[in-house]
Each structure stands twice: as structure tokens, then as C-alpha cells.
Chains A and B, each alone.
Chain A
Amino acid sequence: MPINNKEKITAVDAEKFKDMMFTSLHWLKEQKSFIDSLNVFPVPDGDTGTNMYLTFKEAVSTLEDKNSRSVSELASALSKGALMGARGNSGVILSQLIRGFAQALKGKSKLKVKDLASALNKASEVAYHGVLKPVEGTILTVSREAAEKALAEADSAADLVELFEITIKAAEESLERTPELLAALKEAEVVDAGGQGYLTILEGMLKGLKGEKIEYQAATAEAKTRKKSELAEDIKFTYCTQMLIEIDSRKSNIDRMIDKIRKDMQSYGDSIMVVGSDDVIKIHVHTNHPGVLLEYGLKKGKVFDIKIDNMRKQNQEKVQRENDSDFDHSQFHQGKKSASDTDIKEDNQPAETEDNDRKKAEEINQQKDSEIVVEKNTGIISVANGEGVVNILKELGVDYVIKGGQSMNPSTNDFLEVVERMNTDQIIILPNNKNIISAAKQVSELSNKNIEIIETRSIPQAVTALMIYDDQASPSQLKERMEAEIKYVKTLEITQAVKDSKVNGLEIKKDNYIGLKDGDILVSAETERETVINLLNKVAEDEELVTIYYGEGITEAEAEEVKNIMEENFDFDEIEIYPGGQPLYPFIISLE
């Protein structure tokens, strides 16, 4: 649909709104590597661009099958999708921004000039509220300053294009000022990555508004294939059945109803997920009898957004497609379709690696059934990468380890799935990384189980916390005790710089080793060994016990060597070595 740029666009309907979102997603995808490169620290990081993209993708993919006539409905679908897909701190903030955006658009069938201004304002407001300690010089500042400008100019702007342009200019200027507000940005000579991500999303929406070319097949295709790692013969239940049920919340207690439905669903199939908010309950079940399920739903309330996929068939098609890709593509696909399918192929690669990783993590967990059987009063979920570390956590009582970590942040939905699969209502989550904590926290909003997030920022902290697990304690008691205990352990991490940079007054060269203590970069040297020694010289006090977890690519002999150096140079009582197998970090060391 060609659009004359000179024509004024004063309102956007649902269809156009959808286009804007998909274009924005596509634009964010183009820009995500650039956004990743803005990471301040030279550590292999949580990748702001990637996290925002994955979060936004999850949000936008909810629009794929939605034939709604109202912007309001689309925005609220976006909001739910973002909440579920949120990963990384930036993703969590983005999900809050989208949530606010959707709240402001409630009841609007079209997006008008003034609606945009108020939605951007509400977005920023909700995001500030959602963050425990808002920091200026971040995506929050950019969202606020852009929104303020939009509000100021809403009356005088000729149309949506103009208001978007004004807003984007304000966002750019705000972004340029972020280094003045955050010292770390200034030192690294970059602007805030999250702010850049937000700007990119606004730019993408404007591109969509102006009718720039849209290629949105890729995103949803990718989102879909991610869920289907099973081979066709492993599929026990054929139909992935999803529906939303509108409940009369004046008549029913929604929490109790969710519990009831969840229990009832056990007899229908597996991969059960039942979540709800306000007056809508979402059911996701793999079953062989979708019809029976729909009847069940009708008894509970008004059923809508029904989606039934034949997973066996999809799987065959996927295998077929993979086989096809070995041959000449153009024979099978022509024209525009071919372009987007090539896109699918590219996109599938990372998605499938993710699938494989997930599968591997599940194998480690030896969980073949959908239910995760917890034999204690409280289920424990943690996050780690590396076989050795995973095994240690499991031995210390973790019931399910989600594969992830520094450069691979699990989403809220990843946590939610595990939470819902556990056969217990008391759960604690140990995220073991500062970028994963906030995504985990959102789980307690989406599930009505009794969940506490123990704010562990490293593997050693998790180990220390698990040491004092007490099966008689409630999740909130555990949180209090465990968080008090983890203060007594120091975590040292050795990793390789991914770029040249200046941090904390240190000149760091790409590929040199850097040493962090509790997340702060303190030393840098050419070898791992030197880095360990320098770091210990800085931080070791009168600790008695040292635990070394050596990572992927480090041999036991090399780890022993590090231990010997420690014995020669320091006065620790005990030094223990464990193969952790973690990527990116040759050594994780705890002092206590």
C-alpha cells in the first residue's frame, strides 16, 4: 500500500499499527549488533541489543495471527508478549515501557497524534515505576525526555509523522547526553545501549508509518520454530492448543480458578501452562483432544484467540524445509517469498542453536516428562552454563537448571515455563547474574505460586546460598537468610576483553584478560595467571577457603598450576578445584 509522504497521517488503524510494529522489529534486528557494541564494559556481556530484540520479537510475534480492528487490543497483546519474553535488564525495562504504552491506548481503536504523546508518557512513567532504583543516563532518561517533548508538541504537530520526527529528535539529543549523566558511559566514550535500543524502536515505528518496506515473516517464523525442537516421533501429544478465556472477575477468584484449571489440565496432556491477569486466563496445553479442551474452556467463560497447531505436521515441514535448504533455494521459492524464506533460514540458525542448548540443558536435568518432580517443600530453579557447574548446583539441591548466564539471558517466559512445570507451589529462583535478576522477578507477577527471587549474582553466591537451604523455611525466610549469607563470599571472575576500553582508570586491550571482583573490573593483564595473582593481591583479606571453578578450555593441570601459585603466594587454609566447564570465564573463584 503506497503512501504519499506529503499526505497528512493523523490517525493509524490496527492494520497500520501492526505494520509499524513489524517494521520496527525488523529495524531493531538490523541494528542489534550495533547496539550490542555499545556495551560499556569489555566483558562478554548480556548484549543489550540482542536482549531487546528478543524481547520485542516475542512481543511483536503475538500480533501475527491477530486480526483485530483495534489498536488497543493489539497494544495489550504486545504488552503481554513483552512481559513473557523479557530478558536482560534492558528487555525488562522495554517490557515495562510497552506495558505503559498499552495502558494509555486502552479503548482506542486508532492511534491519533495526541494518543501517541500520552502513550509515550505513560510508557516512561510505568518503566520508572517498574525499576527499583531508576538510574539516569539510561533508557529511562531517553524515554522520559522524548515523551516530554512529544507531549509539549502534540498540539502543534501537523500529523503523526511530524510528532514522531520531533520525538525521535528529542530521543537522539537525550541519548547524546547520557554520557554526561553516567560516568561509565563517558569513560567508555559511548552512549547508553538501552537508550539507543529505544530510539531504534521509535525510528522503526516511523519507518513503518511512512510505509517503508516490510519484511516481517522472519520474526514469527523464528519464534515458532523455537518451540519445536522435538522430533516428530517424540511428540506424544499432537495438538498444541492455546486459548484465552475471559472470566467474570466479579464472580470468580481468578487465582483459585487458575489453580483449578492447572490441576484439571493434567489429565488432558502435557506442556501445560496456565497464566492469568485481571480477567483473562491463558491456557497452553499439548493434547490429543483439542475439542474437549475448548468445551472445557467454554464452561469457564468466553473463549477467544483459539490457536491449534498440529505439531507433528509442523515438525515434518520443518524437517522438510531443512532438507530443502541443502538444495537450490530458488527452485522452491520465488519472488518476495523467497527473500523472506532465506531470512527464515538465517534466523533459524541461532534459534536452533538455542533449541539444541535448551535440549542439552534438559538432558542434563534428566527431565523427560513435562512435570518436574520436586521432592522437597520448596522447588529450586537456578541458571548456569557449563556441565560441571550445573552438576554442582544440582547436587546442592537445585531441581532445575536453566541454561544461561552472562551472554545468554533467559527470558521471563523461560522461568515461567519451569515454574509452571514444577509440582510444588513454593519456589525459589537463583538467577546467578545481575542481568537475569529482573527477568526472574517478573515471574512472580505472572504466576500465582509462592516465588522468591534470591538475588544471586554469581555461581559462588548460589553455592553459598544453597549451603544454608532449610526445607522447613518458607521462600521468604530463605530469601532473607540466603541474601544475608551471600555477603560473606567474594566472587572473582577472569575473562577476556572483547574490545579495547577504559574502565575504572584501567587501559584494557582487546583479548587481554580482565579480573573482576563482584562484578567490578579491577585488574587487567596479558595472561590468566597474572590476572589471578593481581586480583588476589587487590582483594584477598583473611579468607580461609578458596574454590576454583575452571572453565571450558582450561585443563585440570592448568587449574592445578593456578592453585599452586596461590599456595605459594597467599596464606589460604584450603583451596579446592572443580571443573565448571563454563564458557567465557576461564576461572571463577570464590573467597570465603
Chain B
Amino acid sequence: MIALVTDSTCDLPAEILAKHQIEIVPLTVHFEEDTYYDKVDLESEEFYTMMESAAELPTTSQPSVGLFMDRYQKLSEDYDQVISIHLSSALSGTCESARLAAAQLDELEVEIIDSKSTSSGLGFMVLLAAKMIEAGKDIEEIKDTILQEREKLTIYFTVNELTYLEKGGRIGKAQAFLGSIFNFNPILELSADTGKIIPKEKIRGYKKTNQKMTDLALNAAVDSDSVNFAYIYGKDSDNYQQLKNNFESELAAQNNFKYQILENKIGTVLSSHTGPLVYGIVIYRGELLE
């Protein structure tokens, strides 16, 4: 039997995790002296309130090697193989922690896969792996498929302030569209090529921003027969709702491809790096097995 492990940044809702028996290893958020496990100790809304009032921005950490070892060891009681899929190694050391933990466990076969994505992009890969496990595929085939399918992921998102991304070091300083006086909305891309966040466009006015994101997402999907989308968001906002409405009406108007849409709330670790008002669209140009 194959066990499936991912981390807390996959943003899949609890019922899906439970349904497919997906194990989550949480990353951690540090607020001054205190440490919180992502999606375990802290609700998003509470977290945003803390973020707004805290003197310093929160920092985050990858799960410790020990945490992975505990989890893998526990799984080894019921399983002999583990697939462990995680957020982009260009953004976090989570894959590395998992690798170090796996290296110390001889009795268990652990395949660690870098999704080169995060949030629902990672979520889609985890779901795909879950369905393949359920379909009885072997671990090699699943691994090869994920390595191939991760190339079909793209995330476009916008943040209302770039300081979070910049201070967290997840976006190159030279490329960051730094704008402290002048207000504009950046559109950022998490590309499957590099697993890194790159600035894509600068736009003024939220409607234009949402239209551009819609165009980019549809454009990314256009050559596929079947596409999975996911809206991702931190704190709910009118701007986010406008994007959803806009995107859905344009989706309905096209008949190039079949599609499904999920909606997932972003956890505390990712929003520490993007700020609460992040939102965007994840595009997976592929099919999840039914």
C-alpha cells in the first residue's frame, strides 16, 4: 500500500484530505516569540488580525526533519511505500527536510516529489496522486506522471502590497516592482519552469488587473481539452469577488475546453509571504482521474 503525504501549503480542504487519506505535515509561522503550526493552530481570520496589529511581519519555517521522521515512521506501521509531494524547492526547504528524514528510514520507501508549485497547484498534484493510488498504479508510474504533469501548472496572482513578498525574500529584489508612493497592482506568476515567483505585469485599477488575470489564465488554458482551475484567496475582498465573476462569465462564453473550478483558501504560511489580500487563479492544463 502507498501512503500519500504533502504539506500544509497545498490548501486542500479538510474533507478532501480525509476522503483520500492524505497526510499533512505543517509548516510553521512565527510571530515574535510564538510558533504556530500552519492550518493547525491558527485560523486565517485570526491570523490576519494578528498580522495587521503585529509590529513585525511573521516569519515562516519549513517542517523540521524530526517532524517528517515522526510522520513517516508512524506511516511505516501500515504502509511500505510513501509518496511525499511538496511545495516548490525554489520557495522552501520543505523538500529538503523530507529528503533528510527519508534518508534515515531504511525500512520505508519514500519518493519525494518537488511539485514546483504550491497552494492549489500542489493541491492538484496531490489529488492526482491520490486518484492514481486508488486506481492501483504503482509508485514509479505515479512519480513519472507527477513529474510530467507538474509542467502543466501555472499560477497567476496579485497582492495589494509587495513588501511581504520582498521582505520574505521570495521575489528577487531587483525584479520586484517596488512601489511605495505610486499605487499599482502587480500580477505575479509562479511558473512551472522555474518554480519561482516572477513579476509578470504592472496594472493600474483593479478591474483592469482582474481582466488581465482572466486573459492570462484563459490564454494558459486555451490549447488543452480539459482544464482544472482553482481560485485561491487570502482575506475575502470585493476585488476578489469581481475577479471570480469576471472569470466565470468569460469561461462560460468559451467552448474550447472542458473545465472544473475549485476554490481554496490560502493558509497562514503562504499569506505571511503575500499579505492577506492575495488572490489569484491556478491553472492545471490536465485531467484529474474520476
Which A residues are within 8 Å of any B CB, using their own CB? 375, 391-392, 395-396, 463-464, 467-468, 544-545, 547, 573-574, 576, 578, 592
Q: Name the residue among B178, B179, B203, B204 with the largest chain A CB count within 10 angstroms.
A: B204
Residue-wise, chain B 198-234 has the 8 Å CB interface mask toward A (1 for contact) of 0001111111100000000000000000000000000
Q: Is B252 an interface residue (CB 8 A)?
A: no
Contact B207 A395 (CB under 8 A): no
Which B residues are within 8 Å of any A CB, using their own CB? 174, 178-184, 201-208
* B202 neighbours in A (Cβ, 8 Å): 467-468
Contact A578 B205 (CB under 8 A): no
Please give the distance in Å from A175's CB to the nearest CB on chain B: 46
A375-B174, A467-B184 given as contacts; is B204 within 8 A of A545 (CB)? yes
Please give the distance in Å from A413's CB to the nearest CB on chain B: 31
Q: How many residue pairs at the A-B interface have CB separations less than 8 Å?
A: 39
Q: Is the interface of B mostly helix, strand, loop or mixed?
A: loop
Taken together as a complex, chains A and B put the C-alpha atoms of A285 and B204 apart, in Å, by 44
* B207 neighbours in A (Cβ, 8 Å): 544-545, 573
* B181 neighbours in A (Cβ, 8 Å): 391-392, 395, 578
* A573 neighbours in B (Cβ, 8 Å): 205-207
* B201 neighbours in A (Cβ, 8 Å): 468
Contact A467 B203 (CB under 8 A): yes
Those 4 A-B pairs whose CB atoms lie nearest each other, nearest first: A545-B205, A467-B202, A392-B182, A544-B207
Contact A395 B179 (CB under 8 A): yes
Q: In this complex, what residue of B is CB-closest to A392? A: B182
Q: In this complex, what residue of A is CB-closest to B242? A: A573
Residue from A375, A391, A592 in contact with B205 in the complex, judged by beta carbons closer than 8 Å: A592
* B184 neighbours in A (Cβ, 8 Å): 467
Residue from B178, B180, B183, B205 in contact with A544 in the complex, judged by beta carbons closer than 8 Å: B205
Please give the distance in Å from A460's CB to the nearest CB on chain B: 10
* B183 neighbours in A (Cβ, 8 Å): 576
Contact B182 A396 (CB under 8 A): yes
Taken together as a complex, chains A and B put the C-alpha atoms of A463 and B206 apart, in Å, by 16
Please give the distance in Å from A382's CB to the nearest CB on chain B: 14
Q: In this complex, what residue of B is CB-closest to A471? A: B175
Taken together as a complex, chains A and B put the C-alpha atoms of A578 and B181 apart, in Å, by 8
* A544 neighbours in B (Cβ, 8 Å): 205, 207-208
Please give the distance in Å from B172's CB to the nearest CB on chain A: 12
* A574 neighbours in B (Cβ, 8 Å): 205-206
Taken together as a complex, chains A and B put the C-alpha atoms of A547 and B208 apart, in Å, by 15
* A547 neighbours in B (Cβ, 8 Å): 204
Contact A592 B179 (CB under 8 A): no
Residue from B182, B204, B205 in contact with A395 in the complex, judged by beta carbons closer than 8 Å: B182
Taken together as a complex, chains A and B put the C-alpha atoms of A547 and B205 apart, in Å, by 10
Having A467-B184, A467-B202, A468-B201, one finds 4 other A-B pairs with CB under 8 Å, namely: A395-B180, A396-B179, A467-B203, A545-B204
Q: Name the residue among B179, B180, B182, B208 with the largest chain A CB count within 10 angstroms.
A: B182
Taken together as a complex, chains A and B put the C-alpha atoms of A395 and B178 apart, in Å, by 8
Contact A578 B206 (CB under 8 A): no
Taken together as a complex, chains A and B put the C-alpha atoms of A391 and B179 apart, in Å, by 11
Q: Name the residue among A396, A464, A468 with the largest chain B CB count within 10 angstroms.
A: A396
Contact B204 A578 (CB under 8 A): no
Taken together as a complex, chains A and B put the C-alpha atoms of A547 and B184 apart, in Å, by 11
* B205 neighbours in A (Cβ, 8 Å): 544-545, 573-574, 592
Taken together as a complex, chains A and B put the C-alpha atoms of A396 and B186 apart, in Å, by 13
Contact A578 B174 (CB under 8 A): no
* A545 neighbours in B (Cβ, 8 Å): 204-205, 207-208
Contact B204 A467 (CB under 8 A): yes
Please give the distance in Å from A116's CB to the nearest CB on chain B: 55
Q: In this complex, what residue of B is CB-closest to A547? A: B204
Taken together as a complex, chains A and B put the C-alpha atoms of A391 and B182 apart, in Å, by 9
* A375 neighbours in B (Cβ, 8 Å): 174
Taken together as a complex, chains A and B put the C-alpha atoms of A396 and B177 apart, in Å, by 8
Taken together as a complex, chains A and B put the C-alpha atoms of A574 and B205 apart, in Å, by 7
Please give the distance in Å from A490's CB to the nearest CB on chain B: 13
Taken together as a complex, chains A and B put the C-alpha atoms of A391 and B180 apart, in Å, by 11
Q: In this complex, what residue of A is CB-closest to B205? A: A545
* A578 neighbours in B (Cβ, 8 Å): 181-182
Please give the distance in Å from B144's CB to the nearest CB on chain A: 34
Q: In this complex, what residue of A is CB-closest to B207? A: A544
Can you spell out 28 A-B residue pairs with CB atoms less than 8 angstroms apart?
A375-B174, A391-B181, A392-B181, A392-B182, A395-B178, A395-B179, A395-B182, A396-B179, A396-B182, A463-B182, A463-B204, A464-B204, A467-B203, A467-B204, A468-B202, A544-B205, A544-B208, A545-B205, A545-B207, A547-B204, A573-B205, A574-B205, A574-B206, A576-B183, A578-B181, A578-B182, A592-B204, A592-B205
